[in-house]
């Protein structure tokens, strides 16, 4: 479909050196709007990098673009999978790379947009999945999920972790014993490739252009543009709350109830006892939050109890959406701007806090950057008085070495120095230290951490919390134990990540 308003000059310039455009950012910032404007102006097509919009149905809760918007330019990777099946990043990568290659060959600009940033990473960098996307979908899905799903669910994570330690002790030392998902992922990598997961990651890191996070860029940095749509957190919080209210007015509850009914029919047919919110579209924000309301008989949903559960679901949805937006922002900062050894294309921050200034602060600035790219100046070259500078990348990494520590007194395992220091400062550990000292056991609070096993450095994994949940590492004191109050304060601060300063030249062309 021909783009509306595409000038001959722009077409000629872009076709000589087509860019790969990426639009990322937290949910609610306006990513889809900018992506649509870019695709329309430059004759592009949109690849959706959203792990929930892949599935058919639940258009309101997943916030899909409208059918009218999809008619303006072609959209890919939306509504392409049954909600009762599981799609993986492997499937997404394989499908998306084929689309991107086809677009570039035919002189079309690929515009990748979405908030599932590890999906975007799988396209921009040559990561471990590269060996998988060439396989057929049936083989990949069978290997990664269907064949082993029963084993994964039946075996406790501690036993899976023991198995991982036998086949890949280096990787086992970076994953908490309770983190079933990460453990199983490493076991699958070993099963599929016949090599330890840690060895595969090390090979990527040591390859030309590789880094601690994986392999080199798939597309040259000077032909890739990343636009990061930003918004002040307080403003974004209010915007997200209002979006939930708008979803409710558009029929969110009816949409969830209909989907829940269809799922229960399928669940009963398959003799599944409990709802599983860890597969497919059931991971989408909204289903779990309204579960207690949805399982009520219809006659009880209008009672006082029903209204209370509905209100609780709305508040839970708002809260989880706000937390998710913070998580997305932290991901961009950590993976794109705080990895000095990684090849990262230029990242341009665009301030979408004031939507009344959208055209001048977002759309027009993005257009000027793409135009300068098409003119041969490149995204980082000199000579354009109206192009903002890309955001700076940190000169040193904030990633800490991932090592497991075992506290014999508390019988607790932590991963990473930060979590270990938090444990040393916890009330429970302090009480047990005092009790042990009173009993003459000779333990003191500042005893040296006991590493579970010496290992070579492998910073390819994120820090795992003591409870097994993922947490992006933001460093921490390695000199003294944190008190519980300090740990809580630090966690609160992490919930409000600071955006890098926007460096936008406001001169006009």
pLDDT for 291 equals 87
Instruction: Tell me the mean pLDDT in the region 456-460.
Output: 38
Higher pLDDT, 145 or 184: 184
> What is the pTM assigned to this prediction?
0.70
Please give the full DSSP string across 6-18, using - where no structure is assigned. --HHHHHHHHHS-
Q: pLDDT at residue 239 above 70?
A: yes
Average pLDDT, the chain: 75
Question: What are the pLDDT digits (tens) for 405-424?
Answer: 778 777 777 777 777 778 88
pLDDT for 442 equals 53
Tokens read off for 371: 């135009």
| Cβ pair 231, 353 in contact under 8 A | yes
Instruction: Tell me the mean pLDDT in the region 98-106.
Output: 95
pLDDT for 268 equals 60
Beta carbons within 10 angstroms of residue 481's beta carbon: 18
Q: Degrees (nearest 5) of the Cα angle 16, 21, 23?
A: 165
Largest CA distance in the chain: 84
What DSSP character marks residue 393?
P
Percentage with pLDDT > 70 across the chain: 67
Question: What are the pLDDT digits (tens) for 185-215?
Answer: 888 888 878 888 888 878 777 777 767 777 7
Most confident of 88-92, 213-217, 300-304: 300-304
- HEC letters along 348-385: EEEECCCHHHHHHHHHHHHHHHHHHHHCCCCCCCCCCC
Domains defined for the chain, CATH in brackets: 1-125+217-252+328-396 (3.40.50.300), 253-325 (no CATH), 404-494 (no CATH)
Q: Which helix or strand (DSSP H or E) is residue 407 part of?
A: strand 404-407
């Amino acid at each position: 479909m021909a783009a509306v308003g595409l000038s001959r000059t722009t077409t000629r310039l872009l076709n000589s050196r087509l860019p790969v455009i990426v639009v990322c950012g937290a949910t609610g910032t306006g990513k889809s709007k900018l992506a649509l404007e870019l695709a329309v102006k430059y004759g592009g097509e949109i690849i959706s990098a959203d792990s929930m919009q892949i599935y058919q149905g639940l258009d309101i809760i997943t916030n899909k673009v409208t059918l009218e918007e999809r008619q303006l330019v072609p959209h890919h990777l939306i509504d392409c999978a049954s909600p009762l099946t599981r799609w993986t990043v492997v499937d997404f990568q394989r499908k998306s790379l084929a689309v991107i290659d086809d677009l570039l060959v035919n002189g079309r600009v690929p515009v990748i947009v979405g908030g599932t940033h590890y999906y975007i990473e799988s396209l921009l960098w040559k990561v471990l999945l590269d060996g998988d996307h060439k396989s057929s979908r049936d083989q990949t899905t069978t290997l990664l999920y269907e064949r082993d799903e029963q084993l994964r669910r039946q075996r406790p994570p501690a036993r899976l972790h023991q198995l991982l330690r036998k086949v890949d002790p280096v990787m086992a030392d970076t994953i908490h014993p309770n983190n079933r998902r990460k453990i199983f992922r490493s076991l699958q990598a070993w099963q599929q490739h016949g090599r330890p997961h840690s060895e595969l990651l090390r090979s990527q890191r040591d390859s030309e252009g590789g880094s601690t996070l994986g392999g080199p860029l798939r597309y040259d940095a000077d032909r890739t543009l990343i636009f990061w749509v930003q918004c002040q957190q307080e403003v974004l919080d209010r915007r997200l709350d209002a979006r939930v209210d708008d979803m409710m007015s558009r029929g969110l509850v009816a949409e969830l109830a209909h989907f829940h009914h269809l799922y229960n029919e399928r669940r009963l047919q398959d003799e599944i006892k409990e709802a599983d919110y860890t597969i497919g579209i059931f991971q989408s924000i909204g289903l779990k939050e309204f579960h207690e309301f949805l399982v009520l008989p219809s006659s009880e949903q209008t009672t006082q109890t029903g209204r209370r559960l509905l209100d609780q679901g709305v508040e839970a949805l708002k809260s989880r959406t706000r937390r998710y937006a913070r998580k997305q922002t932290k991901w961009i900062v950590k993976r794109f701007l705080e990895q000095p050894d990684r090849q990262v294309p230029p990242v341009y921050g665009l301030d979408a806090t004031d939507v009344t200034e959208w055209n001048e602060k977002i759309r027009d600035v993005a257009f000027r950057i793409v135009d300068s790219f098409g003119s041969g100046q490149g995204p980082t070259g000199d000579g354009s008085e109206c192009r903002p500078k890309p955001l700076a990348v940190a000169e040193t990494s904030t990633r800490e070495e991932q090592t497991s520590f075992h506290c014999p007194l508390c019988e607790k395992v932590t991963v990473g120095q930060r979590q270990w220091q938090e444990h040393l400062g916890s009330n429970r550990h302090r009480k047990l230290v005092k009790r042990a000292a009173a009993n003459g056991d000779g333990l003191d609070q500042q005893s040296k951490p006991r590493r579970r096993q010496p290992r070579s450095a492998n910073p390819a994994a994120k820090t795992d919390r003591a409870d097994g949940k993922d947490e992006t590492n933001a460093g921490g004191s390695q000199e003294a134990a944190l008190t519980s109050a300090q740990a809580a304060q630090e966690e609160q601060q992490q919930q409000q990540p600071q955006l890098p300063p926007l460096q936008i030249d406001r001169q006009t062309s």
